[in-house]
Structure 1
Amino acid sequence: SLAHLFWRGSFGAAVAGVPAAALAWTLAVLLVPGPGPTGWVAWWPGIATLAVAVLGPGVAAAWQHRLPRRRRSVGRERARWRRRWATRVIFEVTACAAAIGGIIVLRRQGGGGDLYTSAAPLLVAVPAVIVVLRLYQPLLRGLARASARRRGVIGFLGLTRAAQATATLALPAITLVLTLTMAAFTIMVRDAVVRGEIAASWQETGADVALTYSPGFGAGPAAVRAFAAVPGVQHAAMAVELPLDLTGGQRVTAIAVDPASYAALVASTEGYSPVSPALLTQVPGQAAVPVLASPAAAAILGRQGSVPIAAQQGLPALRVRVSGELQSTPALPGGGTFLVLPLSAIGGVGAPVNVMLLTGPSIDVSRLHAVQATMPGADDLTITTRSQVLQELTGAPLQHGTFLIFTLAIVCALALALAVMLLELALSTADRELTMAKLATMGLDERQRVRLSVLEAFPAIAASAVAAVACAIALPRLVAPAINLSAFTQSQTSVPLRPDFASFLLPLAGLLVVTVIALAYEIRSRRGRVAATLR
């Protein structure tokens, strides 16, 4: 009876499902610290999942063996087909409209709601899945007709069988789009957080190592040479920072640098405006000193002609002209109103160097501290390393917990994609076994049958790859206004999301390899059972 079939199917699923649920609950308790969930709201997703896993096979078995209905006329069959077609179209249009509406709400609210932000990969993947399902079978039928004119039989048979696959067998492969999109989105956000933290570390220090003296103190030429000779230093730039009062009461920060070394150091940093040494080179016969000004300082000084600056801070009277603008400078990472002028303009005064910037991938920090200990005024010198700032950002509890969740999400998504692919192979095992047995009696050898099975499964993976690529390209453009990573980077500077094609192309390649191995093992394990299968 149908009740007996339902009981047998559900009992077989419960034998595996209930222990798996108990194991999952135990792992959740052991891996996630803190008190366990309380209330029905926290438990219903797991209970619903277990109920579907246990009752689903029984329902499927009973539905498959239900009594057939009376044979209907051709007209009624066509009307039934039209109703199914109309129902499917209405469902697809409604799903696309809901997904597009969710994306619009997500962009307008700017990341204010966690629900829409978390559902972003699903909202983008739903239209892609529907389009792929619509184009999947017609495209394969066209390829099968084209392959019929070729001499080989493998291409024609594989494409024909893939085109004749029912939606029940095609849907598990298409759901790969959802899991791969989730994995790609998670990796994109993780990479954006890492890039944002790196950018924030550059903005805070200005270089790999920043040496700053207290007001009124500075380093002499010997100290500058000693710090620049530390192992690992590739570029070194010294600067003299002084506050200057302009006409009208405005105050700017004057930064005197050597143009060549400063330009080389800026070129080795990230996120700072490049500098051309020619803009800081004084033209012979011209009394005005060329300076690079921040936008605020350029607005104060003006762009036309030269501006006099009275003698102050031990500096002589200067006449400066703005030769260009700088949005930012490593010598003043916090930003502000500043002027960058050549060190030769104040070279005769001999002002002590109070800022030194060093860049290099592997600067010996311990040697820097050793050199600092030998210098006079060591207590007035502060050494700030970018690696330490970056470690403070990446080692914060928020980043650590979020990256752990990201890793678990990626692993779960890839595991689900593998399970879906194996499920599709399992659903088509009986039909594939009978077909391969018939083809074996018609002369196809084992290698040809493996190629045929792989070609039959390949279109579903290829369709998933196309949809996943489209989702990965569309995700950054659609959800970027709703993503705010300032909580991780401790900076208001926006970090763009970039699609990482390796995040889903490599898993797809792995799934294809697993498919080939599984099909080859399946065909070889049934060697010599052709007659039994046919009987």
Structure 2
Amino acid sequence: MRLLLLARVHLGAVAVLLLLTLSACLLVSGLPRVMQAAFDQALRESLAGAPAQRTDLTVALRSNGGDQDLREPALFEAQGRRLRTLVPAPLDGLLAPTGHASAKTYDTPVYDSGGLMFVNLGWLSDGDRRVTWVEGRAPRGVSQTRWRGTTIPLFEVGVVGEARDKMGLGLGETRILGESDFAAVKIVGIFRAKDAADRFWSHHGDVLNVRQVQPTGKLDLERYATALIPDAALTRLSGDDRNLSYQWVLPIDHRSAGALDVPGLSVAVDEFERLMRLQTGIYQASTLTTGLPTLLGGFLTALATAQTIMFLVLGGLLVVALGVIVLAVRLLIERMEHGLTMTRARGGSLPQVVGVAAGLTGLAAGSGALAGYALSHLFPGPMPPIVHLGPFVVLGTAVAYAAALVAVTHRAPLHERRDDVAAARPSARRITLEALVIALALAGAYLLRTRGLTTQVAQEGQDPFLLLVPLALTLATALITMRCYPYPLRLFVRLAARMRPAVPFLGLSRAARARSFSVLPVLILLPALAVSVFASVISSGVSSTQRLAAWQRVGAPIKITSERELPADAVERVRQVPGVSRVVPAQTATVQVGHTPERAQIIAVDLARWRELLAGTPIVLPATPAASATPAVPAVPAVPAASAGIPALVSPELRGRGTFEIGWRSRLRITTQGVIATLPGFFTEGKFIVVPFDVDRRPVVNTLLISGDAQEAALARAVPPARVESRAGVLAAIQHDPLTSTVSGTLLVVTVALTGYALIAVVITLVIGAADRARALSFLRTLGLSDRQAERLTVLEILPMILVTTLAGLALGLGLPAALGPGVDLSAYAGGLPVGDYELDLITPTALAGGLAVVAVLGAYAHTAISRRRSLGAVLRVGDLT
């Protein structure tokens, strides 16, 4: 037989198989590329959003003088180039083309400052390109000066404006540094950063800002500043005289990062440090500092969850697609049945008929697989192995099933078969195997619920147990459905036999005596429904938790915070902004606990008004602290007169203290009236206190909680220095995260694809049984069966399988989130909150089941309409009615 001629004769079945194969290969090869591109983008955004100090590789050396001193910029460049040669793959591919170096002193006190002022000297390899001198001039060199009868070096330095304002380092002033090895600095210029947001300054925040430290046991603050020195000053900067450290920064270029390289990057960091230790010279005393492994570990944890969800839904999609393709192959073989039977009866060998069936199937499926694979290249993103393997799996399954089906069916010429007479009794071995599968699936689900996961996804990857349990549960549910499916039908058949109308009995009887291939729709519809419901439940749970996380993070529809006091006129301007319906003021600050250096965060707010503002939202505020038995003073003076203090809620870290004092703008006495773990919009951990708003005679408002639909831009214009944060903006940021949007988008695409495949499976099932159904209806038409009765009979024949499978798939889909709960941590996609309480959303499964029922009814009507146009002589053979 010629394959092209056969393809032309059976063009409809060939076209169906080709299109189904094309769509399956397009999804199997295209979706992983889109997912991998989203994973890469998420990694790049994660690296770009982290401070450079965490992502970059920083090699530090504390100089002890002598050979370890580097006196020229060229020596720093040479050491930096040598360091780059030690970076192994794939880490070397992430390095930016250029890095930078620095030399800084540390803990350099200002003479006669009481140990409260420190001015360090800092040299930056490219500092001259990154600062602008706003006053004075850039430092030029180093000279000498006399002090207390000795000659000491005099460094020309420049400082940032904040050091001048907070530490009194004015232009033209000279300060003495050190306690034994003295040096003098002369401030010749005031500078500012050309671009303070440049990631370069993440490594040198001490140069741009004055660091203030509260030493233990002291109430006064220590202040640290770093002054810039020129290249020429390196000749006088030695570890013999003062505390000196060198740094080489190898920046990471996040634009070249790929998620597939993440597992090897942490290993490469450790390898780089090992190689550095094996070198001679200063490298042996150097230390490597980077937060890249920790950052990558957190990303891997979130990525592993995304991959788990993707594997589950894509695996279900692949299983369903293969099932539909198997049905399409069955349809094609049914159309070829007469020709293959005749070939076998006329002496054709079994390999010959098998080769014809497999060849035609390979021609149709191969063309579709090749087209789907080619179209998948239109999707953006890298190409993981599944992109290439998927089409081969689809094509191999189609050809193998066609060959096996024909080999079994035509193993003997003219072998008569009557699949509709009686159901074959399963063997004891098969029953035992099926029972074992069910038992293993239930045991796996129980173990997953009780033990959780044993692997660390950040180090060891996915736990295969998590991926096998859903597959086992689906297979077990399908086996139970297929085994239990006939029993309720037989009961309904018996009930229908006692009824006067014959159509219910005939329709249900044909459904109960369905041919063996009718179990294939169960294996297709059940995972399709289960995965669709699972995806719907997961999406619903993530969405509701995202909304809750946005409320928890902001604490109000809109929140305005300011580092400075918001005066009354500014608050009034906010009230007048269009869309503002209610404003609740609050005061936040850091307070001293008792008379010790212990610090805590405090918020003074009217909880009752705040609760009214949040009416109807998913977050609940703690109860307003009740006053103690002894009346508290409403406006507390500097020294409270009452023995009991202001009623307050405190964090768990401050529990058990009863009444204690805090230092705010005045000394206040606080009485603990309750303990709360968190406060929405403000505190999630640490030491914090919640007190009534009017704790002081004149409240200093720096926070506004706002309800309404006002525009953030308008509120920002009303209070320019303040920060405006809205619940809608936070929710959008959570939802638009690359990993989150990828998970949500993939779940939607897979749900739509599974719905389509499920509907196609019902249609193909109707078409496969069309010939037998037409023959049976023709017999019944000779006995007086009307067209309307034929339509009802066809619906009753196909509807029980749809209803039973729909209920089983719905139950499995609703149970999967609970079964996989400990193994699927979706908090990374829900704003950090755990997703545990999944809402029961029956919209998707109800719509899917309704769609299947509608397709079945329409198919029954269409089939009846087609059969009506056939004459009895075209269906029945001579002698069939005798």
Q: Does 1:343 align with 2:690?
A: no
Pick from 231, 245, 266 the counterpart of residue 578 of structure 2.
231
Distance 2:660 2:486 in 1: 77
Pick from 700, 703, 707 the counterpart of residue 355 of structure 1.
703
Report the equivalent of 1:291: 647
Instruction: Give the secondary structure class of the aligned counterpart of 2:427.
Output: helix
Q: Does 1:49 align with 2:394?
A: yes
Pick from 202, 222, 229 the counterpart of residue 569 of structure 2.
222
Pick from 781, 784, 807 the counterpart of residue 466 of structure 1.
807
Report the equivalent of 1:524: 865
Report the equivalent of 1:313: 664
Distance 2:791 2:738 in 1: 50
Q: Does 1:257 align with 2:599?
A: no
Structure with bigger gyration radius: 2
Distance 2:525 2:415 in 1: 38
Q: Does 1:477 align with 2:818?
A: yes
Distance 2:754 2:676 in 1: 45
Could you tell me which amino acid in structure 2 is paired with residue 67 of structure 1? Answer: A
Pick from 798, 805, 814 the counterpart of residue 457 of structure 1.
798
For the 8 Å contact 1:204–1:334, the answer to whether it is kept is no
Pick from 153, 158, 166 the counterpart of residue 515 of structure 2.
166
1:188 deviates by 2.6
Could you tell me which amino acid in structure 1 is paired with residue 603 of structure 2? Answer: I
1:350 deviates by 0.8
Pick from 421, 425, 432 the counterpart of residue 773 of structure 2.
432
Q: Does 1:155 align with 2:507?
A: no
Could you tell me which amino acid in structure 1 is paired with residue 713 of structure 2? Answer: S
Q: Does 1:16 align with 2:372?
A: no
231 and 87 in structure 1: CA distance in 2 versus 1, 3 angstrom threshold: farther
Listed as ranges, the matches of 1:60-75 within 5 Å are: 60-67=405-412
For the 8 Å contact 2:652–2:677, the answer to whether it is kept is no
Relative contact order (alpha carbons < 8 A, sep ≥ 6): 1 or 2 greater? 1
Pick from 369, 387, 396 the counterpart of residue 716 of structure 2.
369
Report the equivalent of 1:330: 680
For the 8 Å contact 1:132–1:467, the answer to whether it is kept is yes
1:432 deviates by 0.9
Listed as ranges, the matches of 1:131-210 within 5 Å are: 131-210=480-559
436 and 44 in structure 1: CA distance in 2 versus 1, 3 angstrom threshold: same
Distance 2:778 2:822 in 1: 56
Distance 2:680 2:695 in 1: 20
For the 8 Å contact 1:147–1:155, the answer to whether it is kept is yes
For the 8 Å contact 1:144–1:160, the answer to whether it is kept is yes
Pick from 29, 37, 46 the counterpart of residue 377 of structure 2.
29
476 and 51 in structure 1: CA distance in 2 versus 1, 3 angstrom threshold: closer
Distance 2:645 2:852 in 1: 65
1:488 deviates by 2.5
For the 8 Å contact 1:237–1:356, the answer to whether it is kept is yes
How far does the alpha carbon of each residue in 1:17-44 deviate from its partner, in whole angstroms, 9 at most, with x for none?
A: 122111211122212433x456xx8644
Report the equivalent of 1:504: 845
365 and 149 in structure 1: CA distance in 2 versus 1, 3 angstrom threshold: same
- Count of residue correspondences: 505
Could you tell me which amino acid in structure 2 is paired with residue 151 of structure 1? Answer: R
Distance 2:678 2:807 in 1: 42
Distance 1:55 1:243 in 2: 72
1:57 deviates by 3.1
126 and 498 in structure 1: CA distance in 2 versus 1, 3 angstrom threshold: farther
Distance 2:414 2:770 in 1: 28
User: Normalising to structure 1: TM-score of the pair?
Assistant: 0.84
Distance 1:234 1:122 in 2: 52
1:473 deviates by 2.9
Instruction: Give the secondary structure class of the aligned counterpart of 2:809.
Output: helix
For the 8 Å contact 1:213–1:382, the answer to whether it is kept is yes
Report the equivalent of 2:191: none
1:533 deviates by 1.2
How far does the alpha carbon of each residue in 1:66-122 deviate from its partner, in whole angstroms, 9 at most, with x for none?
A: 327999xxxxxxxx977x421221221222233234435544343842544344532
1:490 deviates by 5.0
Which piece of structure 1 moves more, 177-186 or 420-429?
420-429
Distance 2:432 2:413 in 1: 28
Query: Which is richer in strand?
Result: 2
1:414 deviates by 2.1
For the 8 Å contact 1:190–1:403, the answer to whether it is kept is yes
Report the equivalent of 1:76: none
Could you tell me which amino acid in structure 2 is paired with residue 54 of structure 1? Answer: V
Q: Does 1:301 align with 2:642?
A: no
How far does the alpha carbon of each residue in 1:499-525 deviate from its partner, in whole angstroms, 9 at most, with x for none?
A: 432232211211111111122111102
317 and 196 in structure 1: CA distance in 2 versus 1, 3 angstrom threshold: closer
Could you tell me which amino acid in structure 2 is paired with residue 189 of structure 1? Answer: I
Instruction: Give the secondary structure class of the aligned counterpart of 2:485.
Output: helix
For the 8 Å contact 1:197–1:488, the answer to whether it is kept is yes
Distance 1:383 1:213 in 2: 9
1:252 deviates by 3.3
Distance 1:63 1:50 in 2: 20
Instruction: Give the secondary structure class of the aligned counterpart of 2:869.
Output: coil
Instruction: Give the secondary structure class of the aligned counterpart of 2:832.
Output: coil
For the 8 Å contact 2:648–2:671, the answer to whether it is kept is no
Q: Does 1:97 align with 2:442?
A: no
For the 8 Å contact 1:241–1:354, the answer to whether it is kept is yes
314 and 133 in structure 1: CA distance in 2 versus 1, 3 angstrom threshold: same
For the 8 Å contact 1:143–1:159, the answer to whether it is kept is yes
Instruction: Give the secondary structure class of the aligned counterpart of 1:343.
Output: coil
For the 8 Å contact 1:158–1:455, the answer to whether it is kept is yes
Distance 1:24 1:274 in 2: 54
Which piece of structure 1 moves more, 458-467 or 57-66?
57-66
1:239 deviates by 0.8
Report the equivalent of 1:410: 751
Which piece of structure 1 moves more, 202-211 or 241-250?
241-250
Instruction: Give the secondary structure class of the aligned counterpart of 1:358.
Output: strand
396 and 473 in structure 1: CA distance in 2 versus 1, 3 angstrom threshold: closer
Distance 2:565 2:718 in 1: 15
Distance 1:331 1:488 in 2: 19
Instruction: Give the secondary structure class of the aligned counterpart of 1:241.
Output: strand
Pick from 584, 589, 600 the counterpart of residue 242 of structure 1.
589
232 and 268 in structure 1: CA distance in 2 versus 1, 3 angstrom threshold: farther
Distance 2:805 2:723 in 1: 55
For the 8 Å contact 1:174–1:463, the answer to whether it is kept is no
Cα RMSD after superposing both structures: 3.1
Distance 2:692 2:667 in 1: 14
Could you tell me which amino acid in structure 2 is paired with residue 239 of structure 1? Answer: A
Distance 1:434 1:69 in 2: 20
Identity, in percent, stands at: 25
1:283 deviates by 7.8
Could you tell me which amino acid in structure 1 is paired with residue 397 of structure 2? Answer: V
88 and 262 in structure 1: CA distance in 2 versus 1, 3 angstrom threshold: same
For the 8 Å contact 1:253–1:338, the answer to whether it is kept is yes
Q: Which runs of 5+ in 1 are unaligned?
A: 72-79, 373-377
